[in-house]
Amino acid sequence: MSDIYELMIAVDLRDEISEQELAELSWHLGTGPQPERLSIVTEFPVVVVDDSGVPEIEDDPYPLLAGDGTAWRVGGVLCSALTRRADLPWKGWSLTSRQEIHPDEFEKVGELLCWLAARAHETHQLGDSAVGIGSLRFYEDEAPDALQVKSRAGQLADLKIGEEPPPSRRAPGGSAQKRQTTPRTPAWLAQQTFVVFADGGDLA
């Protein structure tokens, strides 16, 4: 069984990104080389075994949204693009990405999504400290679920979500209203809105 998800990101960014950050973002999208210093997602720990058979942790950075070409499970094509909004009503950048991701990548991708949400244009703000940033779909599901980034102190940037949907999605009587899922779908994914919790602070 393959736990593969389609990640769709469509976000407009304010014109507040440095040249260093643009270079790093381009690397994550697969459109530029890896910078010497990383400031968006800074750690990529991986366990390796040395010549003596002793496991140790090394840092092995890799671009998070660089998939391109034919998708393996979700159908269609994987791609990423970043375009300057020079002649539009407000300046900044527009980013779109369609990727296949595995749950093992959720934490690092979540860190990048929180960074994007903190720089998203106000049109993406949904209230209650939430920022709409795209969608997430298990590869066997027909319809995607909304993906939001929300600020909550004490929570790490992570694509794992709470066990219950917010009050607006509760059924009458206070019980949680969850969409039907197949046994292949992890229980923590059984809701219609995925929330990435940022590590405190204001996303606006």
In a domain, 22, yes or no: yes
Average pLDDT score, the chain: 80
In a domain, 28, yes or no: yes
Q: Are 161 and 152 in contact (CB under 8 A)?
A: no
Residue 173 has pLDDT above 60, yes or no: no
In a domain, 49, yes or no: no
In a domain, 120, yes or no: yes
The Cα 96–Cα 165 span in angstroms is 27
Domain range for 147 is 5-44+58-199
Question: Which class for 61: exposed (0-12), middle (13-18), buried (19 or more C-beta within 10 A)?
Answer: middle
Q: Tell me how far CA of residue 85 lies from CA of 77, 79, 89, 94, 121, in angstroms.
A: 24, 19, 9, 7, 12
Number of domains present in the structure of the chain: 1
Mean pLDDT of the 48-67 span: 91
AA letter at 185:
T
In a domain, 181, yes or no: yes
In a domain, 53, yes or no: no
Q: Are 133 and 65 in contact (CB under 8 A)?
A: no
In a domain, 31, yes or no: yes
pLDDT digits (tens, 9 = 90+) for 122-162: 999 987 778 999 999 999 999 999 998 987 643 434 454 33
pLDDT tier, 194 (very low <50, low <70, confident <90, very high otherwise): low
The pTM is what?
0.77
In a domain, 50, yes or no: no
